Structure 1
Amino acid sequence: MEKGKVVVLEDRVPKLKKRRRQKANRRLIAYLFFFFLAILCVLYFQSPFSAVRHIEVSGNRHLSDERIISLSGVTKRTSFWKVKEQQVEANIARHPEVKEVTVKKRLPHTLVIHVREWRRIAYVYDQQTFFPLLENGRLLKKEGVKTAPTDAPVLVGWKNGDAIAEMTGQLAELPAAVLGAMSEIHYKPTKEYEDRVIVYMNDGYEVSATIRRFADKLAHYPAIVAALDRNVKGVIHLEVGSYFVPYDPPKKEDDDEAPSS
């Protein structure tokens, strides 16, 4: 103790007690704050306020939004904070038509799903049902439809699995515009061409070709048709070379009409 400075103990005791009470009160307030904060967090995570409110789906063409959401396993009751993006991606990717999928969270309560599907390059017609054939060679037997599709050609009369597999590879190489111009592809082998096919085009022409080099030949279809008279339909032969044979010319209207009496 320095000389000339005398501290009276009785004067310090009340101040020390006051400081201790203030310190204890602050500590109690902090404890109470964190206690109620923890309770609020528990109530929040167990309440509907923490659930996924919006699910946005993009990139899908054939699979509906509802189907993809169902595959994801996420519902409006699922907690937004418990959603694991990788698990949701794995759930959706199990569908054979899904090529790629990405899932992201967007605060505060939105789940964003972007899907890329395998391209449907044809439909196999069997037992009055159209089964999608994907560009990876997979046939979706559980996704058959009864109505004739318009987004890809229909394979008719194909029983040879090897021929279908080879044709799948050829169709996958075609531009989308040429693929969309086809209506039906019939498997019509002959002694001369064991892999011959007949293609019925949406514009009224018929194409006779072979599976071998099918993509190379049909890729020139727009240029071939551009050189033809659109009013004259017929068969475009692409087995070896390239030549056009018109259908028999239609009879004149006068010939069809019965003579007046």
Structure 2
Amino acid sequence: MEKNKVVTLEDRIPKIREMRKQKANRRLVLSLSLFFILLSFIIYSQSSLSKVSSISVQGHQYVELETIIKVSEIKEGTSSFFQVKKADVESRIEELQEIKSATVNKELPNNIHIDIEEYKRIAYILNNGTYTPVIENGDILSSSTIDILPHDAALMIGWNNKVKVDEFINELMKLPESVIYAISEAHFTPNETDPNHITLFMNDGFEVSGTIRNFSSKMASYPSIIAQLDPEQKGVINIEVGVFFKPYDVELDGDEVEDEG
């Protein structure tokens, strides 16, 4: 049998030296890299580049840009980019009553991007010529009244009773968005037989006679109700007890409509 070749110590020494040299070179490269990274960071932190140069905000419709930036507590030209804590900024912005969520993104070298999601407005309460917004979580924005007639949600007219306002909004919030935004006007029209009576005027031209109590459970069936009616024949859909329809130009009792809800 052939004898195994024996590697002498003299043969191994050059290889060991080469491995040690390569390892030392790697350590040197790593040390130099860390040094230059640290040096670059120090230079960056001491220069104007470390200050926030721009703040962009997207997604806001009702809350003013200046308000969002002020609440964020980020200041262009003075705030340190690395000291801006995203979670803290998001939390401060979300304290605004109209803000549903805020997302902050930092983009090197010194730009801040803020994405805003506002609560949707589901109604406006008309009072003394001004309109007070009601948002989807049920809050009434008493400090955000407007003077111009809004067109993005229903008008609540004649609602002078705070208790009834709260009851109606609570019912309104339970409805699908498609039904909420199908309402043009919601009038509080109490009478001798029903102190909770309401009259709705819909965007499609129909009128709805109802009551606040259990309003959402009955009004949720509105799409299936109008699907059974002639869209050219407008009238009053009564949902107070059962569901029946009375055309505007007919004096007789209205046709009953089957409630599929």
**For residues 29-108 of structure 1, what are the structure 2 equivalents within 5 Å?**
37=39, 41=42, 44-77=44-77, 78-108=79-109
For structure 2, the 5+ residue unaligned runs are 1-31, 251-261
Equivalent residue, structure 1, for 2:190: 189
Shift of 1:153: 0.7
Tell me what 2:15 maps to: none
Whole-Å separation in 2 of the counterparts to 1:225 and 1:66:
45
How far does residue 145 in structure 1 lie from its aligned partner after superposition?
1.2
- Partners in 2 of 1:194 and 1:46 — Cα distance? 70
Query: Identity of aligned pairs, percent?
Result: 40
Partner of 2:178: 177
What's the counterpart of residue 129 of structure 2?
Answer: 128
State the match for 1:222 in structure 2: 223
CA contact (8 A) 1:135 1:169 kept: no
Q: Distance in 1 between matches of 2:120 and 2:172?
A: 11
Q: Given the two structures, how large is their TM-score scaled by the length of structure 1?
A: 0.73
C-alpha separation in 1, matches of 2:46 and 2:127: 51
Cα distance in 1 for residues equivalent to 2:68 and 2:156: 28
Q: Match of 1:104, SS?
A: strand
Alignment-mate amino acid for residue 206 of structure 1: E
Counterpart contact for 1:89–1:101, Cα < 8 Å: yes
* Offset from partner CA, 1:5-36 (integer Å, 9 cap, x none): xxxxxxxxxxxxxxxxxxxxxxxxx9xx99x9
User: In 1, distance between residues paired with 2:200 and 2:124?
Assistant: 14
Distance (whole Å) between structure 1 residues aligned to residue 70 and residue 249 of structure 2: 54
**Alignment correspondent of 1:19:** none
> Residue 139 of structure 1 aligns with which residue?
140
- Conserved 8 A contact 1:122-1:133: yes
Distance 1:165 1:52 in 2: 44
SS of the aligned residue for 1:183 comes to strand
Deviates most, 106-115 or 117-126: 106-115
Residue 231 (structure 1) shift: 1.4
Please give the alpha-carbon distance, in whole angstroms, between the structure 1 residues aligned to 2:160 and 2:102. 34
Aligned-residue Cα RMSD (Å) equals 2.5
TM-score by length of 2: 0.73
User: What secondary structure, in the 3-state scheme, does the structure 2 residue paired with 1:80 have?
Assistant: coil
Q: Which one is further off, 145-154 or 237-246? A: 145-154
Structure 1, unpaired ranges of 5+: 1-29, 250-261
Amino acid at match of 1:99: K
| Bigger mean CA offset, 214-223 vs 68-77 | 68-77
SS of 1:162's partner is helix
Shift of 1:159: 1.2
1:198 is matched by which residue type in structure 2?
Answer: T
Cα distance in 2 between the residues matched to 1:234 and 1:69: 49
* C-alpha contact (below 8 Å) 2:49/2:109 kept by paired residues: no
* Total equivalences in the alignment: 215
* 1:241 partnered with 2:209: no
Which is worse superposed, 78-87 or 191-200?
78-87
Listed one character per residue, the Cα deviations across residues 115-140 of structure 1 (whole Å, up to 9, x for unaligned) are 33333221111121111112333211
Q: Give the Cα separation in 1 of the matches to 2:224 and 2:56.
A: 42
**Structure-2 residue corresponding to 1:7:** none
Quick one: distance in 2 between partners of 1:81 and 1:52?
9
Following superposition, the deviation at residue 218 of structure 1 comes to 1.4
If you compute each CA radius of gyration, which structure gives the higher value, 1 or 2?
Answer: 1
Q: Return the offset for 1:61.
A: 4.2
Distance 1:218 1:59 in 2: 31
Correspondence for 2:257 = none
Q: Is the 8 A contact 1:52 1:75 kept in 2?
A: yes
